[in-house]
């Protein structure tokens, strides 16, 4: 863009005015004046002016990066520490439209001035010097223009953009504190210009039902994820912290159905359970909270805490579930998991029940289940750590049927389709097979991944070998070679 400005400025320049003296000779006013007056080489002076304009442009470019890259919390911390320039920096950050508009106006004006000055003055003074060279001759004007375009473009990119921005990222905090006060004053002076430019832009954009502003760009979730991944690769963030951040970014779209324990895996007690039944469930399942139902599981009436049961049993009293029953909250299975988590935190609850659209119990979720969605699997000292995903040689993995598809995608770097109503590997196999597939069934997923059913019952898929697309293609190639060899 700046090169085009240089070209336009240089190609449209007019010859210097010539005056005829009394003796009939012509002269160009101020031509060679620097040399005759001992003022120095005009080309050198013009080069210094262009360089100064480009460096001033670099000051604005660096200021933009330095101020924008600072977190608001860090700016507030510097204000509390009473660091010099912190108040001005906070004022600049509080008005991003005015700040960014001021920077853009400064960069544009300085860039255009450098281009126009280079084309109008520098190229014209350079032309006579190039004309003396025998291999240039009559083409001196065009060559001078090309030299000016290349020189100004190079200096603008290196000294006006790349170097200032790189330095601003390295010492952004100190530079932002240093430049904040001048920027604040300049933004106040430039208010009429900013208003006029914004109004002009909005007038042009009105037919398109749009308007312009200088608000800071909003960072999308995908961009945040990329930033986290890059930080982990560079070592700025621990890889485990990177995994936590990735899980947190995905957590807001999870529903209760994605995190709940399915109905067929719920451990519950009837309201009329005997002490032996209570003791057996608590000792075998080691549950800290158990839902209680009346007649059928669809009629859950509350839950009991293992601590309450133990305290009564310790006093050698008869355990009556009705006496220690606690209320339980019901949520639709389509509600966002983050809303259930917020409820549990605010209401000091640790268990909730999920119901489907017909009001039937579809699952159960605990605070620990939601926490594991953020930090990964957590096992107590009494639980056996059974791996959900076992990696194998060649890139494949052995996966349990109840493992969520999103965990498989995250662990193996796949893109398996997680459509509505299908959240686990077993569910995906049933969907691809048009029903519960038999053992050794080979299913092809949307991304080329092959799902090989290793263990299944008439009601569910238990274990699946997941073979990524690359490993599957290599395996198919080996099989074809074996077939050709045998034939």
Neighbours of 43 (CB within 10 A): 15
Q: Are strands 289-293 and 269-270 parallel, antiparallel or unpaired?
A: parallel
Window from 172-181, 209-218, 364-373 with minimum mean pLDDT:
209-218
Neighbours of 128 (CB within 10 A): 13
What's the CATH code, domain 389-486? Answer: 3.30.465.10
* Contact indicator for 291, 397 with CB cutoff of 8 Å: no
* Contact indicator for 163, 175 with CB cutoff of 8 Å: no
pLDDT per residue over 392-406, tens digit each? 888 899 999 989 898
Q: Are strands 450-456 and 461-467 parallel, antiparallel or unpaired?
A: antiparallel
Task: Report the percent of the chain where pLDDT is more than 70.
Answer: 84
Taking 80 as the threshold, does the pLDDT of residue 110 lie above it? yes
The residue behind tokens 């240039």 is 136
* Contact indicator for 481, 460 with CB cutoff of 8 Å: no
Taking 50 as the threshold, does the pLDDT of residue 23 lie above it? no
Taking 90 as the threshold, does the pLDDT of residue 209 lie above it? no
**Most confident stretch, 133-147, 171-185, 193-207:** 171-185
Percentages helix, strand, coil for the chain, rounded to the nearest 5?
A: 60, 15, 30
The C-alpha atoms of residue 408 and residue 425 are separated, in whole angstroms, by 8
**Which long-range CB contacts under 8 A does 344-351 form with residues at least 24 apart?**
344/370, 350/288, 350/289, 351/289, 351/291, 351/303
Contacts of 222 (CB under 8 A, 6+ apart): none
User: What is the per-residue pLDDT for 190?
Assistant: 82
Task: Dig out the tokens for 25 from the structure.
Answer: 């000779």
pTM confidence score: 0.57
pLDDT per residue over 301-351, tens digit each? 999 999 998 888 887 777 788 889 999 999 999 999 999 999 999 999 999
pLDDT per residue over 230-268, tens digit each? 888 888 888 888 888 988 988 998 999 999 999 989 999
**Which long-range CB contacts under 8 A does 79-83 form with residues at least 24 apart?**
83/177
Decide: helix, strand or coil at residue 152.
helix
The 3-class secondary structure across 269-310, one letter per residue, is: EECCCCHHHHHHHHHHHCCCEEEEECCCCCCEEEEEEHHHHH
What's the CATH code, domain 256-375? Answer: 3.10.580.10
**Most confident stretch, 8-17, 239-248, 474-483:** 239-248
Same fold, 256-375 and 389-486: no
User: What is the per-residue pLDDT for 439?
Assistant: 92
Question: What is the Rg, in whole angstroms, of the alpha carbon atoms belonging to the chain?
Answer: 36
- Enumerate the domain spans of the chain: 2-208, 221-251, 256-375, 389-486
């Amino acid at each position: 863009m700046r090169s085009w400005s240089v070209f336009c400025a240089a190609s449209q320049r007019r010859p210097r005015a010539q005056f005829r003296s009394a003796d009939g000779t012509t002269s160009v006013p101020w031509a060679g004046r620097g040399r005759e007056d001992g003022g120095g080489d005009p080309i050198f002076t013009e080069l210094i002016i262009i360089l100064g304009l480009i460096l001033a442009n670099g000051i604005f470019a660096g200021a933009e990066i330095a101020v924008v890259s600072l977190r608001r919390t860090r700016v507030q911390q510097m204000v509390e520490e009473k660091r010099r320039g912190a108040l001005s920096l906070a004022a600049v950050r509080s008005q991003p439209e005015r700040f960014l508009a001021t920077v853009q106006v400064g960069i544009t004006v300085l860039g255009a001035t450098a281009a126009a000055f280079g084309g109008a003055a520098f190229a014209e003074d350079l032309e006579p010097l190039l004309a003396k060279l025998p291999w240039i001759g009559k083409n001196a004007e065009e060559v001078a223009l090309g030299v000016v375009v290349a020189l100004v473009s190079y200096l603008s990119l290196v000294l006006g953009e790349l170097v200032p921005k790189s330095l601003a990222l390295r010492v952004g905090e100190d530079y932002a504190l240093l430049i904040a006060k001048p920027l604040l004053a300049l933004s106040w002076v430039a208010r009429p210009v900013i208003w006029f430019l914004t109004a002009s832009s909005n007038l042009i954009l009105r037919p398109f039902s749009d308007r312009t502003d200088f608000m800071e760009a909003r960072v999308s979730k995908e961009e945040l994820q990329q930033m986290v991944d890059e930080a982990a690769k560079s070592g700025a963030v621990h890889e485990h912290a990177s995994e936590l951040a990735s899980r947190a970014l995905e957590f807001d779209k999870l529903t209760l159905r994605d995190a709940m324990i399915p109905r067929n895996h719920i451990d519950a007690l009837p309201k009329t359970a005997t002490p032996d039944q209570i003791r057996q469930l608590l000792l075998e399942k080691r549950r800290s909270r158990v839902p209680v139902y009346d007649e059928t599981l669809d009629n859950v009436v509350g839950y009991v805490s293992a601590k309450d049961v133990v305290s009564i049993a310790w006093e050698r009293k008869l355990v009556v579930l009705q006496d220690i029953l606690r209320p339980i909250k019901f949520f639709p299975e389509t509600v966002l998991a983050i809303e259930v988590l917020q409820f549990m935190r605010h209401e000091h609850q640790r268990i909730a029940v999920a119901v489907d659209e017909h009001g039937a119990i579809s699952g159960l979720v605990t605070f620990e289940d939601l926490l594991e969605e953020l930090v990964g699997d957590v096992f107590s000292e009494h639980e056996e750590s059974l791996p959900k995903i076992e990696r194998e040689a060649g890139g494949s993995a052995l996966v349990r049927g109840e493992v969520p598809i999103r965990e498989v995608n995250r662990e193996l770097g796949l893109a398996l389709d997680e459509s509505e109503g299908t959240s686990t590997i077993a569910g995906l196999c049933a969907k691809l097979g048009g029903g519960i597939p038999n053992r050794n069934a080979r299913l092809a997923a949307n991304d080329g991944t092959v799902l090989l059913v290793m263990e299944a019952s008439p009601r569910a898929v238990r274990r699946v070998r997941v073979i990524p697309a690359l490993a599957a293609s290599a395996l198919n190639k080996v099989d074809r070679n074996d077939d050709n060899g045998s034939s």
